[in-house]
Every structure is written in structure tokens, then in C-alpha cells.
């Protein structure tokens, strides 16, 4: 009989120190008693940032950056190792592995310092060090609990294109390698502990999947192995109805659809890497988000349909690190190329446009970009429209940084009239002025722009309006099959 297979990913905070790693190992050991388990691990929290900072420092010519980095990481990982693994022999073997990986990191930084050049390929190799250090530690801790395990680098499993810094997996080749390497281990009830975040091109050059990419690694491997479920263990209780720092009544959503979760990830709810669900969409594998520090909570289950409740509003999200750019004047009415030129310009400077709104009178188009993209976007627009500004065909290009986007998300809002009306009436009662509105025709998201000072009241008002904080909306969820009793 085919045994239940779960892929479990542990984020940086869930493997942040020895205590966290033993907790992760306990979760894996419990799951391995009930079925097959594949573990995917992030770097210990903060490590990837340190690696990147050292690489950047080395690029300035700092020859000591590599040594300083290796010393700090050795201290951190060996401290955890000593606390986790008691047999001398096993400790020595993991410690040798740690030294080898750190020696490589040091050489990469020294080479970078010598050349004063940091290529995307080298940056990937340096960034990958954290996962290559944490996987042997997690495997070591798991072995302490009597589980047979093996630590494996995902460069042997996940085949990607050569887009360094955000490589895309090649599904078929990844499936073949995963089957060949992992299936025999699973049949022998071995728990593979795999580095998240990294892969390699078909000819063996290391790549990374992008910051936070270990979530994606987990679903890529889940899909490759046709797993029954993927569980993302993190430090929050799943996907919440809103950011609890802004809306204290926020609650965990028991079930949400792929699409809704992706929508939330896009709008800055940082629970999931935005690409995570792509890998499992076709196979429809459920993905759980759970808190490794509070295993009694079931967290959120992400499924193709997402269950339904109430008016279909599932969650609210907000982004404040953004700015509103508007371009307009009566002169743009009926000038067909203004919109085209505007967005060719944003594309040329690679600004990520988060929301667009244009009134049908065409007096004004406004759109939102993230704060980091603002200056170069405005500059490029002023250049593009310089003649039109002189001729006053375009009267203004203005910028407002004191704004926020709030989005109401839920795929079943589609065809459920009144959601927009209720949202805006609720905001009206709180005296929140709406600067711009956008709803895509998919209707799974209504986004609007408010002054940044109004963001919190807008979120609270909409949260209350749709009863998102009410316990009865959140009926209980069946436990993940593989881990019902953790
Ligand atoms: N360690 C990588 C990062 O910090 C990948 C991950 O944690 O998902 O971005
Ligand atoms: Mg992370």
C-alpha cells in the first residue's frame, strides 16, 4: 500500500537555534511514525542576510569579509551542534561538513574581494551556504531521536533554468531526479532532510529560487514526488484575516484557496513566497501553513477551492511602502498613446506597478509603485513627457508618498454583490477618504488607496464589517492527515 507522504518545510525561525531545531526534529519524528516524510529546511534565521552582506562587503575589496563571516557562522552552527548531537563520532562528522562548507564560503568571498566583482552566479553560491549548513544540523537532531535520516543538497534534486537569483524549476527533470534519489530512501523509511532555496542547472551550476524561496522548494519537491500534503512550518499561526499588529481581532483562516493565498502573498502578507503555489496548482496538493512553536493550532489549509464562507471575503491586506503617481490634465483626454507611453516607461525602468486606476473621463491616470521604484519612475515619466509638459498636453505628473493600498480578498466575492458597497460604506462611517479604487475582473480582490494615516482605521472598519474576527465564522478544520496528533 502506498504510504502517506508529507513534505515539511521549516523556515529560518523554526530552525533558528538548537531549541528550535529540536522542536523541528520532534515534529518530523512524530510524522515519520505515521507515514513518509521529506524535510526541507531554510538557513538558520538571519544567516542568509549575513551571507549576502558579506558578499557585498567583499565586492568592495574587503579581504577579511570571508574570514569574519566564516568565524561567525562556525560559532553559531557549532554551538547548535554541540547542544543537539551527543555522540562524539556523529558530532565530528557534522562538524567536518560544516567546516568544508564554510571553507567554500570563505574562498568565494576571497575571490570576490580579489576581483572586486560579485556576479549573480557567485552571489547565489554564497547565499546558498546557510541551507547547506542547517540541513546537516537538522538531520543530526533527527538522528538523535532514533529516526533514520540523510541530509541532501537540493542541487542533486531541483533542476532549474540559469536565471541566477530567481531561477525557475524544470518540472520533468526535477521529478526524474527526485524519484531516482528520494523514492528509494522513502521506501526504506529514511527521512531526507533537504536544503531549501537552492537548485542547479542541468549542467550542475548552483542557482537560488529567490529570497524566501524555501517554501517554493517544498512545493516543487511535493509536486515532484506527488506528495499527499505539504506543510510549511513557520512562526505564525497560518494565514490571518489581517495583520494582527494593525487589527488585533485578526484570526487564523482555517481554509483558503490557492488563488486567495497568492493574492495575499502578492499584496505583502509575508507568510508565503509568492511562487509557492505555482508548483502544486496542477496536482492540487494541499499546502498547510502551521506554527512550529504552537503545534496545537492547526493553522491554515490552502486548497484549490478554498472552502467558502459568508460573503466570500476571506482576508484583508495592506501595503504601505508604496507611492501613488498620477499623470493628467484635460489635455490627455482622447490622446490614445498616453496610457501606452506611461506603462512602457514604467516597464523600461522595471518598476513593479501594483495598482492602476483611470477614470473614464480620462483626465487622470494614477498608479502605484513600491517606494523603492518611485524616484526613477517619476524621473523617467518626466523625461518621456517633457515636451507634453511644456505644451501642457500633460498638466502634471505628481507623486504622493503618504498613501497605502488596502485590499479585500476572497475568491467567492465574485458574483456576491454588495461587497464593494459594504466596504466603502464602512469606510465612509469611519471618515476614511478613498483616493482610488481598483477591482480586477476576476473579482477576487478589491483594492483601494487611502492616506497612510487612515490605513489602520480602514482595515479595522472592513474587518468589523465582514465579521472576520468572529469565532463562528471559523468552523473547525479537519487535521492534516499525516500529523493529526502532533
Ligand atoms: N534562506 C533563504 C532566505 O532567507 C531562503 C528561505 O529562508 O526561504 O531568503
Ligand atoms: Mg526565510
What separation in Å is there between the alpha carbon of 368 and the centre of ligand 2?
27
Whether ligand 1 lies within 6 angstroms of the CB of 169 is answered as no
Phi, psi of 286 (to 5 degrees): -70, 145
What separation in Å is there between the alpha carbon of 171 and the centre of ligand 2?
23
Ligand nearest to the CA of 165: 1
Whether ligand 1 lies within 6 angstroms of the CB of 212 is answered as yes
Confidence at residue 482, expressed as pLDDT on a 0 to 100 scale = 52
In angstroms, what CA-CA distances link 148 with 140, 287, 403?
A: 10, 25, 53
Confidence at residue 370, expressed as pLDDT on a 0 to 100 scale = 93
The confidence band for 300, taking pLDDT boundaries of 50, 70 and 90, is: very high
The confidence band for 189, taking pLDDT boundaries of 50, 70 and 90, is: very high
Whether ligand 1 lies within 6 angstroms of the CB of 45 is answered as no
Confidence at residue 485, expressed as pLDDT on a 0 to 100 scale = 36
The answer to whether residue 486 scores a pLDDT higher than 50 is no
The answer to whether residue 481 scores a pLDDT higher than 60 is no
Confidence at residue 483, expressed as pLDDT on a 0 to 100 scale = 47
Whether ligand 1 lies within 6 angstroms of the CB of 16 is answered as no
Mean of the pLDDT values across residues 187-202? 98
Mean of the pLDDT values across residues 289-311? 89
Ligand nearest to the CA of 235: 2
Ranges of beta strands (E only) in 413-479 are 434-439, 445-451
Could you tell me the domains of the chain?
5-227 (3.40.1160.10)
What distance lies between CA 93 and its chain's CA centroid? Answer: 33
More confident residue, 420 or 361: 420
- pLDDT tens string 137-157: 999 999 999 999 999 999 999
Ligand nearest to the CA of 209: 1
Whether ligand 1 lies within 6 angstroms of the CB of 216 is answered as no
Whether ligand 1 lies within 6 angstroms of the CB of 214 is answered as yes
Q: Which three cell numbers stand for residue 267?
A: 499584496
d(CA 354, CA 465): 25
Q: What b-and-e string marks burial along 33-46, b requiring 16 or more CB atoms within 10 Å of the CB?
A: ebbbbbbbbbbbbe
What separation in Å is there between the alpha carbon of 122 and the centre of ligand 2?
20
Confidence at residue 358, expressed as pLDDT on a 0 to 100 scale = 83
- pLDDT tens string 430-461: 999 999 998 876 678 899 999 999 999 999 99
Whether ligand 1 lies within 6 angstroms of the CB of 43 is answered as yes
Task: Please say whether the beta carbons of 365 and 342 come within 8 A.
Answer: yes
Amino acid at each position: 500500500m502506498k504510504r502517506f507522504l508529507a513534505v515539511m518545510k521549516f523556515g529560518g525561525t523554526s530552525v533558528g537555534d538548537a531549541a528550535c531545531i529540536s522542536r523541528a526534529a520532534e515534529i518530523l519524528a512524530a510524522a515519520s511514525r505515521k507515514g513518509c516524510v521529506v524535510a526541507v529546511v531554510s538557513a538558520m534565521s538571519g544567516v542568509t542576510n549575513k551571507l549576502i552582506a558579506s558578499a557585498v562587503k567583499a565586492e568592495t575589496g574587503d579581504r577579511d569579509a570571508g574570514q569574519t563571516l566564516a568565524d561567525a557562522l562556525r560559532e553559531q552552527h557549532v554551538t547548535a551542534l554541540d547542544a543537539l548531537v551527543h555522540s562524539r563520532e556523529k558530532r565530528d562528522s557534522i562538524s567536518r561538513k560544516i567546516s568544508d562548507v564554510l571553507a567554500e564560503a570563505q574562498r568565494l568571498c576571497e575571490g570576490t574581494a580579489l576581483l572586486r566583482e560579485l556576479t549573480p552566479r557567485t552571489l547565489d553560491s554564497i547565499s546558498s551556504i546557510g541551507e547547506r549548513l542547517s540541513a546537516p544540523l537538522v538531520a543530526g537532531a533527527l538522528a538523535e531521536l532514533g529516526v533514520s535520516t540523510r541530509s541532501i543538497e537540493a542541487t542533486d534534486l531541483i533542476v532549474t533554468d540559469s536565471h541566477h537569483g530567481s531561477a525557475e524549476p524544470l518540472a520533468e527533470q526535477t521529478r526524474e531526479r527526485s524519484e531516482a534519489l528520494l523514492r528509494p530512501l522513502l521506501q526504506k523509511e529514511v527521512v531526507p532532510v533537504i536544503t531549501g532555496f537552492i537548485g542547479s542547472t542541468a549542467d550542475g551550476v548552483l542557482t537560488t529560487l529567490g529570497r524566501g524561496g524555501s517554501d517554493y522548494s517544498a512545493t516543487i519537491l511535493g509536486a515532484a514526488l506527488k506528495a499527499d500534503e505539504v506543510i510549511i512550518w513557520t512562526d505564525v499561526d497560518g494565514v490571518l484575516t489581517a495583520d494582527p499588529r494593525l487589527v488585533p481581532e485578526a484570526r487564523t483562516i482555517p481554509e483558503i484557496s490557492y488563488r486567495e493565498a497568492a493574492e495575499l502573498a502578492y499584496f505583502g502578507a509575508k507568510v508565503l513566497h509568492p511562487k509557492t503555489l505555482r508548483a502544486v496548482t496542477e496536482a492540487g496538493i494541499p499546502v498547510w501553513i502551521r506554527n512550529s512553536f504552537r503545534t496545537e493550532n492547526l493553522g491554515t489549509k490552502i486548497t484549490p477551492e478554498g472552502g467558502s464562507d459568508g460573503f466570500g471575503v476571506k482576508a484583508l491586506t495592506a501595503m504601505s511602502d508604496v507611492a501613488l503617481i498620477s499623470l493628467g490634465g484635460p489635455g490627455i483626454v482622447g490622446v490614445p498613446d498616453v496610457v501606452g507611453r506611461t506603462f512602457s516607461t514604467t516597464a523600461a525602468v522595471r518598476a513593479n506597478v501594483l495598482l492602476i486606476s483611470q477614470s473614464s473621463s480620462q483626465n487622470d491616470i494614477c498608479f502605484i509603485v513600491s517606494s523603492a521604484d518611485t524616484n526613477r519612475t517619476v524621473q523617467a515619466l518626466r523625461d518621456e513627457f517633457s515636451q507634453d509638459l511644456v505644451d501642457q498636453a500633460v498638466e502634471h505628473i505628481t507623486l504622493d508618498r503618504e498613501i497605502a493600498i488596502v485590499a479585500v480578498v476572497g475568491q467567492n466575492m465574485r458574483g456576491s454583490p454588495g461587497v464593494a458597497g459594504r466596504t466603502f460604506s464602512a469606510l465612509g462611517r469611519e471618515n476614511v477618504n478613498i483616493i482610488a479604487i481598483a477591482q480586477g475582473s476576476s473579482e477576487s480582490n478589491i483594492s483601494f488607496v487611502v492616506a497612510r494615516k487612515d490605513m489602520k482605521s480602514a482595515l479595522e472598519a472592513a474587518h468589523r464589517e465582514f465579521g472576520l474576527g468572529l469565532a463562528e465564522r471559523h468552523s473547525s478544520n479537519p487535521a492534516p492527515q499525516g500529523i493529526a496528533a502532533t
